[in-house]
Chains A and B, each alone.
Chain A
Amino acid sequence: MSVAEPAAAPATDSPAVEARNLVKSFALGDTTLRVIAGVSLALRAGETAAITGPSGSGKSTLLHMLGTLERPTSGELRIAGADPFALSERALARLRNERIGFVFQDHHLLPQYTVLENMLLPALAFGRVDAARERRGRELLARVGLEARAAHRPAELSGGERQRAAIARALLLSPRLLLCDEPTGQLDAKSAAAVVELLLELHSDPAAAATAPALVVVTHNAAVAARLGRRFELVEGRCYEA
């Protein structure tokens, strides 16, 4: 295994994520489409936030920028006080691997792997699956109620179960920032409620209070948004905190 380049060291008093005047534009033929038109926000570890807005308002784009998946056209992004886009590709990947967790609308579980293997996938990006990782994986599966499904393949799970497995995967490496993009978008009301409950339960776990990540959830669901600490609304590319 190669020696990994260390991720940017977080400053303990810095926000987990801080955006200053982020802009994202796309070229569409001769015209330019400005999807995000100067968004600024900051979240500290342990904080929870919802980003809401109509379809096409740029919620996912903003989330991808916060998660370093997409580079802003302009503006500044800081993760734990450091500019992630100044890092090399390898260091940026490591940052994403160790500091950021993602939960998408689709579970994106790999069909050829078991539930447990899918859970442990982030550990493979910069290392091996050792006993401690496996123990942590099994604990998380137990927390999300899928312990008995560890050896099953995703095709054998229900939609809610798949999403719970995806949440467990996002938490495997104890990220400082957990980004969820419409995590309940494909679920029925009951499953959606259970998933949100699980997210909040895991986030507010007293046993892990010291390492609780900042949680950002993009959602259409007002009920889900209402359960989160802060609420931002994206309108025509601009972000307003309620």
Chain B
Amino acid sequence: MLRSLSYHRRAHLALALAVAVATAVLAGALVVGDSVRGSLRELALSRLGRVERVVVPERAFRDRLAGDWSREGAGTTAAALVVRASARHGESGSRASGVTVLGVDAAWEALFPGTPLSFAQPEGQLFPPVLLADALARELGAKVGDTVDLLLPTYSAIPRETLVGRQEARETVATLRLTVAGLQPERGLGGFRLDTRQAAPLNAVVERSRLARAIDARDRANLLVAGGGADRGATGPSSARTNAKAALARAVTLADLGLKLSTRGDEVIVESDRLVLDDALARRLATSVREAGATPTTVFTYLANRLRIGDREVPYSTVAALAQQAPAAGAAPAVGPDIAPFTVDGAPVSPLRPGEIALNAWAAEQLGAALGSQVELTYFAVGPRDALVERTATFRVASVVAMRGLGADPSLTPQLPGLSDAARMNEWDPPFPVNLARIHPVDEEYWSRYRAAPKAFVAFADGQRLWRSRFGAVSSLRLTPPAGTSAATFARTLEMTLPRAIGPAAGGLAVREVREEALSAGEGATDFAGLFLAFSFFLLAAALLLVALLEGLAVEARAREVGLLGALGFPARAVRRRLLAEAGAVSALGVLAGLGGAVGFAAVMLYGLRTWWVGAIGAPVLFLHVRPGTLLLGGGLSLAVVTITLAIAIARASRAPAARLLTGEVADPMRASKRSALAWWTMVTALAGAAVAVTAALGAGERAAPALAFAAGALVLVAGFAALADRWGRGRSWNRRRAFALHGPAWLAAGARNGARNRGRSLLAAALVACATFVLAVVAVNRGEADVDPLARGSGTGGFALVAESDVPIVADLNRRDVREDLGLVASGSEASQAALAGTTVIPFRLLPGEDASCLNLYQPRRPRVLGAPAEMIARGGFTFQALAKETPEPWRLLDEELGDGIVPAFADANSATWILKRGLGDDVVLADENGRPLRLRLVGLLKKSIFQSELLISERAFVRHFPNRGGASYFMIEAPGGEAQAREVGEALEAGLAPFGFDATSTAERLRAFAAVEGAYLQTFQALGGLGLLLGTVGLAVVLLRNALERRRELAMMSALGFRRAQLGGLVLAENLVLLAAGLALGLLAAAAATAPHLAAQAARVPWQPLGLTLLAVLAVGCLASLSAVAATVRSPLVHALKEE
């Protein structure tokens, strides 16, 4: 075999090279996959430092919890105050939104070794120091020593969307001026982020206490991290996880859960620092205290603007609803017997029924009330967008309560900001409008004596019905301690036991294994190995076809040898085995060489992803990671695929009878014509099928059309192959003499007829070119932008001109004139922009921060961003759906459907759902709600190429139900009148006016283009690799031609003897190649036309003729060059020698 290997070394070298190319492509794609995973994992871990787990509740907790957690066994811990903000360069004024401000302390140094975190302010430096992440410094153009302003949302424990939590829009933002003391690299604290995304975060690191002071969150933190020297116990990570959770449960106090205890008389009062206890927490509290032996009374106190009977009124009074047990979950709480204060006669008040009211004696006197009087109670309700709506309810006076005990108890009212601490009523500074002129001396006297003691009591059911908000309907629990236990003693007991009884999760304090999540997300949303295998499909196919061609030709060249061995009695199988062993040995060497090529191929692809196709991944973060196991797998796969290919090629080339092989021939010259009927019928059937598929695609829905169109293209290819097989297979009759010449078009015709000499080879070569042309042309057409009006409601923009996000949630309704005036929106901007602004509608969406679900994120998103679409968006509609759970004229209404407990209907962009989230219509994306309970977002609609590719959409109603603490809107869709210029002006005006909120508006068309750029970059990659496949195909073509020409050297020599010149002979060979090339190109284009016709007809897309034409011209040129070299090689050698080889 060694001799044979040596003797046929040239053929073997060619085979080894082709095998090397196939291996490089196949194993290279696997290495690309490894590299992407490795790079993402490495990046994610470098950004986490030594952090392994975190606690990120919706509410802030004591900053000392970190130390307590560590002491309880969580290992190295640290606390941080993290807020989303925007930044402004002090000197240049350049801005950056989406900044993450990390308020840290020295404890973080242990988790990010090598990162000195000294925040000492050097003498002479005016402002406190800040460390900027490299990415933020670049964005701002800031360097060490520069001044930077951070615009920060102020902290408030009280939800902003409650009557007492409201604040003027401007009051929610604080500014902190800092000096840049250093830069933080992306791989470290500068890149610290809990969501997984490859883009570098815009981090600003400041001293936690400084940040806390600035945003009024002293001694608070909202992020706990643990890691480094965590107590892993004896059994490794899972034990460490369990230990960390248990340690947190031990460390948490009532303050961390936002609860506070106080005593009044014989009772213990449990209140929330949010002024309202949510239903779940209230329920757990009630259960826990009952278990502790206490009797709880549920209190819900609200503020009435006025109590009135006839023309007599009492302004600004608190009204309480009391029940002896906590309400059950849901809107219809189980109400127990109402707490009854005592009447002025000393008798207990009868339980209040719905519609009844009990006035205290003071209020009854002021109103001149008698039993049975009708009292009008007027109060503020918080409507959508922070709007206060005054409502009135009427009650019948059922009793009058004595001014003692509960009848004059200010502790029934929680500490209201701006009210409770005022010495006099006319000093009130509440966050809602009050008319101090309505306050009379008698009211001041009551305030002075009884403070905020409720002046009236209503049935608990009425209180819940009238004043319930999504944050809850309980102000406090009043606990009667078990018999024999004083209130003070019981309170001390509860301080110790209650946190563990209700658990940290009740306060949203759950441990997240963030390192594990990063490792898991590092697997990536996209299987790049599969992607690059698909991209390289034609390159791989071309390489394998080349392997088959070369081996087939090599065996054909050895036909006499094979025939002789057969004649000598060697079994055909043994001969084939020998040939296969020889080719296998060569292939093994090719595979080894190809593995080196695989690393090179992967390196080039990754370089491409960092440079030419960086649009596909957004950031140049991918680097080469080679794992020997992957190379082995790639090599093994290649060897297997190549061996199969070789076996087929050898079997085909050696199946001729020995007698024919001995003459040096492989093909049966009589065989071709027998197949023409089959070819003809195949052609007719395939063409008919293609016509049916195109027609069906034109009428089919979005889902079926692409498959049908592609099928049409494939059928045209089949028809074309059959036509070529038919043409090259049939004998020519003399009546086609016009084609029998060697000048003008007939020269090409002669070339076409020469293609019939070896139909199989010619078909293979033309098919390769046709397939690659088909793919390139289809991709090129699909890359063409659709002529879609960006302002059409059915387009991907939904008809919105702008999309915006704010760093600080905005509660106010930006469509209200008074809000715009308050924010200075009306006053800013030019006259033209004012006119445009006046006609602008802003639709605000609530935003649950999370991971980008679009193709811009390489990581596998586990917690995708969620938007809450408000009612006006649902009513407005717009966009186009690729698929809906059920056909309806108003698809957005599907978001309002009730699907059962814990299931919420959701929309996602079809591309994001399919490729990134790996979900389809009807599938669930499972998240955790604010209390850690699983929340299933069921996909009931898939949007087609919309701007909502980064997030999931649910209704605002469902959003506030499951994420009640996510106050305000951070995402905005903006309809602006006029064209693009006006929209830009509107965007600029809004950005300027809402700068403190970090408002950043972008053209929706631009946002769509950014998504399209990813698709474009992938298609570009596909095109580039498809182009390489095509080039390899043309090399195959040249090989076929050269082989054909070499086989016909005697024939050419004979023609030379007949008087044909070398140029004529060369021309003839060239014509043959051109015909093969042109046949492949034309067939590929025809098939592409069939496949893209429905797309072009449906979307009026523009065909990018120029790049498409250039690509095909390049292919033609390379093909011609390759064939010219084959021609030159053919006619260069003296042909006459061939005549002597008879």
A and B associate in one complex = yes
Which residue on B lies nearest to A94, using beta carbons? B1059
Q: Flag whether B505 is at the interface (Cβ < 8 A).
A: no
Contact present for B737 and A122 (CB under 8 Å): no
Q: B741 near A93 (CB under 8 angstroms)?
A: no
Q: Count contacts on B: residues with CB < 8 A to the other chain.
A: 32
B732 touches A114 (CB 8 A): yes
Q: Are A104 and B1054 in touch, CB under 8 angstroms?
A: yes
A112-B732, A116-B734, A117-B734 known; A70 vs B1142 contact (CB < 8 Å)? no
The answer to whether B757 and A150 have CB atoms under 8 Å apart is no
Q: How far is the CA of A90 from the CA of B1056 in the complex (A)?
A: 11
Q: Does A30 contact B (CB under 8 A)?
A: no
Q: Is the CB of A125 within 8 A of B732?
A: no
A67 and B734 contacting across the interface, CB-CB below 8 Å: no
Cα-based distance from A93 to B1135 in the complex (angstroms)? 14
Interface size class of A (residues with CB under 8 A): 35 or more
A108 and B1056 contact, CB distance less than 8 A: no
Partner of A129, one of B740, B1057, B1136, B1139: B740
Which residues from chain B contact A227 at a C-beta distance below 8 Å?
A: none
Mask for B729-751, Cβ within 8 A of A = 1, else 0? 00111100100111100000000
Alpha-carbon distance between A114 and B737 when the two chains are bound, in angstroms: 10
Residues of A within 8 A of B389 (CB): none
State in angstroms the CA–CA spacing of A1 and B1059 once bound together.
Answer: 16
Tell which of B1051, B1059, B1064 touches A98, judged by Cβ atoms closer than 8 Å: B1059
Q: Which of A97, A125, A151 has the largest count of B CB atoms less than 10 A from its CB?
A: A125
Q: Does B441 contact A (CB under 8 A)?
A: no
Contact B754 A106 (CB under 8 A): no
B714 within 8 A of A: no
Q: Give Cα distance in the complex from A79 to B1015, angstroms.
A: 72
Q: Is the CB of B1062 within 8 A of A67?
A: no
- Do B669 and A113 have beta carbons less than 8 Å apart? no
Given contact pairs A104-B1142, A155-B670, A124 touches B742 in the complex (Cβ within 8 A): yes
Which residue from chain A places its CB closest to the CB of B1054 in the assembled complex? A108
Whether a CB of chain A sits under 8 angstroms from the CB of B1050 is yes
Cβ distance A71 to chain B, nearest Cβ, rounded Å? 10
Q: Is A33 close to B, CB under 8 A?
A: no
Contact B734 A102 (CB under 8 A): no
Please determine whether A89 and B1062 come into contact, CB atoms closer than 8 angstroms. yes
B132 at the interface (CB under 8 A from A): no
Q: Is the CB–CB distance between A97 and B1058 below 8 Å?
A: yes
Say yes or no for B681: interface residue by CB 8 A criterion.
no
Q: Is B570 an interface residue (CB 8 A)?
A: no
Q: B753–A113 contact, CB under 8 A?
A: yes
CB–CB A113/B1142 < 8 A: no
- Contact indicator per residue, chain A 115-134, by CB within 8 Å of chain B (1) or not (0): 01100111011101100001
Contact of B1055 (CB < 8 Å), options: A64, A95, A121, A128:
A121
Q: Which residues of A contact B1051 (CB under 8 A)?
A: 108, 110
Most buried by B among A93, A106, A128, A182: A93
Given contacts A114-B734, A122-B1058, A151-B733, contact A108 B670 (CB under 8 A): no
CB nearest to B756 among chain A residues: A112
Q: Contact between B1058 and A125 (Cβ–Cβ < 8 Å)?
A: yes
Most central of A95, A117, A129, A185 by chain B CB within 10 Å: A117
- Of B756, B1064, B1136, the residue contacting A70 (CB under 8 A) is B1136
Is B876 engaged at the interface, CB distance under 8 Å to the other chain? no
Shortest CB-to-CB span from A235 to chain B, Å, is 19
Instruction: Decide if A153 is an interface residue (CB 8 Å cutoff).
Output: yes
Alpha-carbon separation in the docked complex, A24 to B1139 (Å): 17
Q: Which residues 478-537 of B sit at the A interface, judged by CB distance below 8 A?
A: none
Q: Which chain A residues in 55-104 approach chain B with CB under 8 Å?
A: 60-61, 64, 67, 69-70, 89-90, 93-98, 100, 102, 104
Q: How many whole Å from B413's CB to the nearest CB in chain A?
A: 104
* Beta-carbon contact of A125 and B1059 below 8 Å: yes
A197 and B1078 CA atoms in complex are apart in Å by 48
B1061 CB–A CB distance under 8 Å: yes
Please name all residues of chain B whose beta carbon is closer than 8 Å to the beta carbon of A111 when the two chains form the complex.
669, 757
Q: How far is the CA of A89 from the CA of B756 in the complex (A)?
A: 30
Contacting residues, chain A, for B1136 (C-beta < 8 A): 64, 69-70
Among the listed A98, A100, A114, A155, which residue makes an inter-chain contact with B669, where contact means beta carbons less than 8 Å apart? Answer: A155
On chain B, the residues within 8 Å of A96 by CB distance are 1057-1059
CB-nearest residue of chain B to A179: B1057
A1 to B1140, CA, bound (A): 33
User: Contacts of B740 on A, CB cut-off 8 Å?
Assistant: 113, 117, 120, 124, 129
Residues of A within 8 A of B742 (CB): 124
- Could you tell me the distance between the alpha carbons of A150 and B737 in the complex, rounded to whole angstroms? 13
**Chain B residues whose C-beta falls within 8 Å of the C-beta of A100 in the assembled complex:** 1057
Any chain B CB within 8 A of the CB of A105?
yes
| B residues near A126, Cβ cutoff 8 Å | 1059
**A89: B residues at CB distance < 8 A:** 1061-1062
Min CB gap A223→B, angstroms: 21
User: Is A112 a contact of B733 with CB atoms below 8 Å?
Assistant: no
B1060 within 8 A of A: yes
Residues in A with CB closer than 8 Å to B741 are 124, 128-129
A156 at the interface (CB under 8 A from B): yes
- Whether B1058 pairs with A121 at a CB distance below 8 angstroms is yes
Per-position 1/0 for B751-762, Cβ under 8 A of A: 001101100000
Asked if B1050 and A106 sit within 8 Å, CB to CB, the answer is yes
Instruction: Mark each residue of chain B from 58 to 70: 1 if its CB lies under 8 Å from any CB of chain A, else 0.
Output: 0000000000000
A193, B731: Cα distance in complex, Å: 31
Chain A contacts of B732 at CB under 8 A? 112-114, 117
Give the residues in chain B near A181, CB-CB below 8 Å: 1139
Contact A105 B1142 (CB under 8 A): yes
The answer to whether A64 and B1139 touch across the interface, beta carbons within 8 angstroms, is yes
Given contacts A114-B733, A153-B731, contact A108 B1060 (CB under 8 A): no
Which chain A residues numbered 160 to 217 have a C-beta less than 8 Å away from chain B?
169, 181-182, 185
Query: Contact: A90 with B669, CB < 8 Å?
Result: no
Q: Which B1057-1083 residues sit within 8 Å CB-CB of chain A?
A: 1057-1062, 1064
Given A106-B1142, A114-B732, A151-B733, A93 and B756 contact (CB-CB distance below 8 Å): no
Contact A93 B1061 (CB under 8 A): yes
| Distance between Cα atoms of A188 and B742 in the complex (Å) | 36
Q: Give A106 to B1140 CA distance when docked, in angstroms.
A: 10
**Chain B residues with CB under 8 A of A182:** 1142
Q: Which of B743, B756, B1057 has a CB less than 8 Å from the CB of A67?
A: B1057
Q: How far is the CB of A127 from chain B (nearest CB, A)?
A: 9
Q: A64-B1136, A120-B740, A129-B741 are in contact. Are A102 and B1054 (CB under 8 A)?
A: yes
* Chain A residues whose CB sits within 8 angstroms of the CB of B1056 once the complex forms: 69, 93
Is the CB–CB distance between B1058 and A112 below 8 Å? no
Chain B nearest CB from A156 CB (Å) reads: 7
Cβ–Cβ < 8 Å partners of A113 in chain B? 732, 740, 753
Q: Chain B nearest CB: distance from A167 CB in Å?
A: 13
- The chain B residue sitting closest to A138, CB to CB, is B734
The answer to whether A114 and B731 touch across the interface, beta carbons within 8 angstroms, is: yes
Known contacts A89-B1062, A155-B669: A129-B753 contact under CB 8 Å: no
CA distance A60 to B1139 in the complex (A): 9
Additional A-B contacts beyond A64-B1139, A128-B741 (9; CB < 8 A): A64-B1140, A97-B1058, A102-B1057, A104-B1142, A112-B757, A125-B1061, A128-B743, A129-B740, A182-B1142
Q: Which 8 interchain pairs have the tightest Cβ spacing?
A: A97-B1059, A155-B669, A108-B1054, A125-B1059, A96-B1059, A69-B1136, A102-B1057, A122-B1058
24 contacts between A and B (CB under 8 A): A60-B1139, A64-B1139, A93-B1056, A93-B1059, A93-B1060, A96-B1057, A97-B1060, A104-B1057, A104-B1142, A105-B1142, A111-B669, A112-B753, A113-B753, A117-B734, A124-B740, A124-B742, A125-B1060, A151-B734, A155-B669, A156-B670, A169-B1058, A181-B1139, A182-B1142, A185-B1142
> Could you tell me which B residues sit within 8 Å of A by CB distance?
669-670, 731-734, 737, 740-743, 753-754, 756-757, 1050-1051, 1053-1062, 1064, 1136, 1139-1140, 1142
